[in-house]
A = this chain, B = another copy of it.
Amino acid sequence: MANKGMTSFDPSALCQVAIVVRSIDETVKFYTEVFGIGPFEIRQVDFPNATYCGQKAGYRGKRAFAKLGPVTLELIELIEGKTVHEDFLKEKGEGLHHIAFAVKDLKRCEEEAEKLGLKVIQGMKREDGSGFAYLDSDRIGGAMFELIQWQV
């Protein structure tokens, strides 16, 4: 089937399933002890140049990553700053927040998305073009999609 929409988006490039949690430590302990998920890589992220609804809104957060076969599980804990994760936690509580897809050209992908009426709610771009963008794809169907261009 021809891709009539975002031609630079590849649906087969699903790379992450992400959960917003209140406590990474508690969730990692549970997932490790009960389900044998892991090892987890736990780290802090700091995105001082991130945007929220088009405005600069840096944030910091705690993250944990583990493999679920071909896909990475990401746990997201808030530290500081205005984020889509905070909005979600306030509105819905802990839970599955987004799925992420690797893209080769984030800027082009964002432009295509916006032409189709999808807004970038939160994003971050480095000078080399790498970064991420959360789309408001949750307006239909309720699921947020993140686009990630990996830093090489």
Q: Could you list which residues of chain A lie within 8 angstroms of chain B, going by C-beta atoms?
A: 1, 3-7, 9, 11-14, 17, 19-21, 26-27, 30-39, 66-71, 75, 92-99, 101, 113, 116, 118, 137-138, 140-143, 145
A5→B35 contact, CB < 8 A: yes
User: How many Å lie between the Cα of A93 and that of B142 in the bound state?
Assistant: 8
Tell me if A's interface is mostly helix, strand, loop or mixed. Answer: mixed
A74 to chain B, nearest CB (A): 11
| Oligomer: number of copies | 2
A6→B36 contact, CB < 8 A: yes
A99 to chain B, nearest CB (A): 6
Given A35-B5, A36-B3, A37-B11, verify A95-B143 contact (CB < 8 Å). Answer: yes
Interchain CB contact (< 8 A) of A27 among B6, B101, B141: B141
A141→B19 contact, CB < 8 A: yes
